[in-house]
Amino acid sequence: MREQDVTFKPGNHAIFLVFGLNKPDDTGPVKAICEDAPSFVRSLRNRYPAETVSCVLGFGSPAWDHLFPRRKKPKELSPFAEIKGEKFTAPSTPGDLFFHIRSSRADLAVELASLVTESLGDSVFPIDEVHGFRYFDGRAILGFVDGTENPDIPEESRRFAVIGDAEPDFKGGSYCFVQKYVHDMAAWNKLSTEEQEKVIGRGKFNDRELSDEDKPENAHNAVTNIEDENGEELKIVRANMPFANPGKGEYGTYFIGYASTFTTTRKMLENMFIGDPVGNTDRILDFSTAVTGALFFIPSLELLDELAAAED
């Protein structure tokens, strides 16, 4: 099975689109996008082969139930359940269709997003749209290099991000969780560099992980480091991007994690927002507020072709 571009690098420019179904009885345009989106990408890649254009398409749980009622459903696809800790909350927000568009050029990302929205027409309505950009040398707005915990080699990336034999009917697919964070930059910038490093768990300028002696238990990379029952570290593939609206004083990070099982991502989130042990919450949440949260299933390219022809 050929997976969608879930293990691609974040890119220089990204557009994240979340839609709701506007005309539940008119499923034609939504099913057609299963063929249209890959064809749009092929066309732009042929015209601009060096610009790393890509588009990932996913479906939320309610949309899957409505669009493909006769098909089996991915076992972990369900509406994201809010995670509410004593201090912080990971909210659940709606979403039927999701598009993750990437390109080394902003104009091509916008072109692809325009083709997608024009193809869908009024069959959907917009829920969220975020334009991300590469910030210096791959840093988050907070000033630290992002994605350092991603698997290092392609084979590992696929193993953690792409569904394998555990779900044979959905092999080549992926679970995608998205979450938009808005940062309190005024509070963050009041911290010294050393204090910021203890929040993240890494050096700000050399990106070196702090030693166990220097790293607090609630540092971001300590809280999100989880293992299975055999002691093997469990990973997801992140493609986070910064976004900003300086005139509004809004600066944030669009978190996006691809995984072969959503259980891994959810455990990381529970560690962040509830704590393990309870109360040991992620220090980064003192400066970052999650304002969205939605789970999508990303079909393989072969399954996308089948879904385009699926009967109501």
Give catalytic residues, as residue numbers.
146
Residue 72 burial (C-beta neighbours within 10 Å; 0-12, 13-18, 19+): exposed
- 214/186 Cα distance (integer angstroms): 25
Q: Which residue is associated with the tokens 């989130």?
A: 269
Q: Which residue is associated with the tokens 């139930």?
A: 65
- 57/116 Cα distance (integer angstroms): 10
Between the alpha carbon of residue 228 and those of residues 158, 235, 266, the distances in Å are 18, 10, 14
288 and 253 in contact (C-beta within 8 Å)? yes
What length is written for the chain? 312
